[in-house]
Structure 1
Amino acid sequence: MARRKIIRITATSLLVLLVLVTAALGGIGWYYSNELLKPAEAFPQRYPETALGLDDENLVLAESKLSTLRGTFGVVWPGGAAKVGDVASNKDGRVERPLLEGTAPPEGTKVRIETNVYEGNPKTSLGLVYSDVAIPGELGDMPAWLVPASNRDTWVITVHGRGASREEALRVVPQLHAAGLPVLLITYRNDPGVPKSPDGLYHLGDTEWHDVEAAIHYAQGQGAKKVVLYGWSMGGAIVGQMLARSSSASTVSAVVLDSPVTNWTQTLNLQAQNRGVPTWLTPVAEVVSGWRADLDFDRFDLVANPPAVKPPTLVIHGSADGTVPAQSSRDLATAANGLGWPLRYVEIPGADHTSGWNVATDTYRAALGDFLTRSIGAGP
């Protein structure tokens, strides 16, 4: 009797432990799937840096990892924005950067440093003529900006990253415009002011590619014969799925990818490491996210599952990217020849996520200009 009782208690304890462990893993997976899939978690809301006023013509910021980044960046705060240049001095906890555009925030203002250096629309930020247009999508109309140019046959369609906005592309619009290329800066499902997906979640490219396809159809309706797709971060995953799954992929004559997600598993592993979370929990987050949003994460691995349509592609990635691993882009570049994919890879030393343009503007512009000339014959 005593032995049976001990066995019964042990079995019950193990069962309870298994339930508790399963519940804990499920809770962890649910938490991280929220961070990955819920739009409200993706849009930046914090202002972690502190402005210390204006010294001569330099904006002074409290020293931090972000305030000491090399290059040109945007500084935003509630109700204001500015553009600052490279670090002019850094001593005694005060980082001075030349104020290039905008006005300085009052001393003590909490601010955020962004790769977006332009706020507003193409007219207010760049002085370029543009039109507000609506792209008919399967969930409803999606607002976009259309910047016209001399070449009416080949359009550039920009696809911003997760939690970003169409303003992300404004940095490269002047160069594209000078090359004679009309630029369509799109939004997609779950962006502010755009219809939400039926479940209200991001699908990491698995459904968003339909919105890029709709943008291509819109461009074709306006006379475009070919398009160049330009994606940042998750926008790269969206472009990858569009090439793999859209009947309109053959209209894409070239692709530019900046810090692209080409393998979500590697990206989640990096983000787990950044949070001090064991990478063996990544599959748990994938299982929960896959269940919630009906996702197959293997589909996003462009090395293992490359798209059938592989137009000439330029991939630009920063070596210090702490959000999407540069190794994923290196892996794709290494595999490209064997995949029959004409791909050029440019790595920007020291650049963090989507900040290659900010850190090394001349290098970035030269690579982009050369690629556009070689791939589609466009140039200033």
Structure 2
Amino acid sequence: MAERSKQRGSARTMVGAAALLAAALAFATGAAAAMLAVVFARKVVTPPTRREQDLRILSVDTVAHEITLAANAEARMRGPYGLWFEHDSGHARLGDVIEEHDGRVRRHLTATDFGRPERATRGRINGWYHLGPWELDLPYEDVLIETELGPAPAWVFAPDSPSDRWVVQVHGRGAKRHETLRAVDATRAAGWNSLLISYRNDGEAPASSDRRYGLGGTEWVDVVAAVGYAIERGASEIVLMGWSMGGMISLQAVLRSAEVRERLVGIILESPAIDWVDILRFQGGALGLPRGLGDVVARLLGAPYGGGLTGLAAPIDLEDLDPVVRAEEFTVPILLMHSVDDGFVPIDGSRRFAASRPDLIQFEEFAEARHTKLWNHDPERWNALITTWLAARTPADHDDEAVEIVG
């Protein structure tokens, strides 16, 4: 009897120890997940200061003007790109793919701007392509737009003939106005002015007090200031063009500002961020993070207590930013372009937005192009879509004037 009692006591002890261990593991797992959520949330709203060099440079032939890269989705992209290397101290231009074989991608190396690519072992591809406005070989102005935080630099490109129609270009997260230089030729061809803006916390415009992205919930105010600048310069019709997060920023400016809506005749969206919760889920999965962490991050960003963990001055209600929920409030035509192979912002949000207003939204799907690299992948189609769509926004009175001038 004593022996059996001893065995039962030992068994209970083992069960109790196992339960304690399980509880400890659950606590540790929960704590680790919570820490991951905080790190992820901070990364989402913090402007990046360093870029990941995720491309392996295997060899460079300076005589044949070719470069060989380790094969990955970025290395395989068709079209022209910029290549930053040696921690962004060097820059070159990539032409199209020559061949892919045995895990290697050989491409044209069309130019080296600075640095020694033959000495580099790692780099990153940049879809911007242009280093600055001077490369377009077009007249432009350096201007300052007065925002509530102070003057923000911008570029203005005018068409060949004077026009009161303006496209305001809004770049994406982690980018600068250089990203939007690719659209200047298309907008000028349609006879529109281009205003390429900077906004808070992008490294050029004044920073907010918390130095954090609002994911569209704060930056829209700077777009309103840009629209006001265009109006002061004589704009009577305005189109907002937003890239990635710039798409969300542009949509928020439309939804929240009567001044913007008064002169707005259209919106162009390039690889836009439409559904932040969906984007967080997608990127969490791509990083190999636990399933459901994206939803936790979304709640953390919107929590009243989250500021101490994320650095945000005010919470961000991601559901409140969702333009699909407020789709009935849009009244102007929208050109929406997105790639099924975006790789960073899933196309699902754009599809839902397009389906919510088929009467207004012209939805153009691309394939194989990566995030905000639709121009690089197929510049002929991309330019034609924008030029044709903008031409359709030209009011009848402008057409009459044009005919009158010709006559």
| 2:171 counterpart of 1:160 | yes
SS of the aligned residue for 1:193 comes to: coil
Q: Distance in 1 between matches of 2:41 and 2:188?
A: 39
Instruction: Check conservation: 1:243, 1:308, Cα contact below 8 A.
Output: no
Report what 1:306 is aligned to: 327
The CA deviation at 1:129 is 1.2
TM-score by length of 1: 0.88
Report what 1:85 is aligned to: 95
What letter is aligned with 2:38?
A: W
Report what 2:232 is aligned to: 221
Report what 1:181 is aligned to: 192
The CA deviation at 1:92 is 5.1
Higher Rg of the two aligned structures? 2
Alpha-carbon displacement from aligned partner over 1:330-369 (angstroms, at most 9, x marks no partner)? 11112213xxx51101111111111111111111122112
Report what 2:44 is aligned to: 36
Question: Given the alignment, which residue of 111, 122, 141 partners 1:131?
Answer: 141
Bigger CA drift: 77-86 or 195-204?
A: 77-86
The CA deviation at 1:14 is 9.5
Report what 2:294 is aligned to: 282
Report what 1:365 is aligned to: 383
Bigger CA drift: 354-363 or 10-19?
A: 10-19
Q: Distance in 2 between matches of 1:307 and 1:26?
A: 37
Aligned length: 371
Bigger CA drift: 233-242 or 149-158?
A: 149-158
Report what 2:368 is aligned to: 350
Alpha-carbon displacement from aligned partner over 1:266-314 (angstroms, at most 9, x marks no partner)? 1111101101123311121112222334111112222123262331111
TM-score by length of 2: 0.83
Q: 1:111 to 1:10 in 2, by over 3 A?
A: closer
Q: 1:307 to 1:58 in 2, by over 3 A?
A: farther
Instruction: Check conservation: 1:52, 1:62, Cα contact below 8 A.
Output: yes
| 2:276 counterpart of 1:258 | no
Bigger CA drift: 164-173 or 48-57?
A: 48-57
Report what 2:355 is aligned to: 334
Instruction: Check conservation: 2:335, 2:361, Cα contact below 8 A.
Output: yes
Bigger CA drift: 215-224 or 269-278?
A: 269-278
Instruction: Check conservation: 1:51, 1:106, Cα contact below 8 A.
Output: no
Question: Given the alignment, which residue of 52, 58, 67 partners 2:59?
Answer: 52
What letter is aligned with 1:229?
A: L
Q: Distance in 1 between matches of 2:25 and 2:184?
A: 57
What letter is aligned with 1:30?
A: V
Q: 1:171 to 1:216 in 2, by over 3 A?
A: same
Query: Superposition RMSD on alpha carbons, in Å?
Result: 2.9
Q: Distance in 2 between matches of 1:167 and 1:47?
A: 21
Which sections of structure 2, spanning at least 5 residues, go unmatched?
A: 1-8, 403-407
Which sections of structure 1, spanning at least 5 residues, go unmatched?
A: none
Q: Distance in 1 between matches of 2:46 and 2:331?
A: 31
Instruction: Check conservation: 2:186, 2:384, Cα contact below 8 A.
Output: no
Report what 2:338 is aligned to: 317
Q: Distance in 2 between matches of 1:354 and 1:12?
A: 50
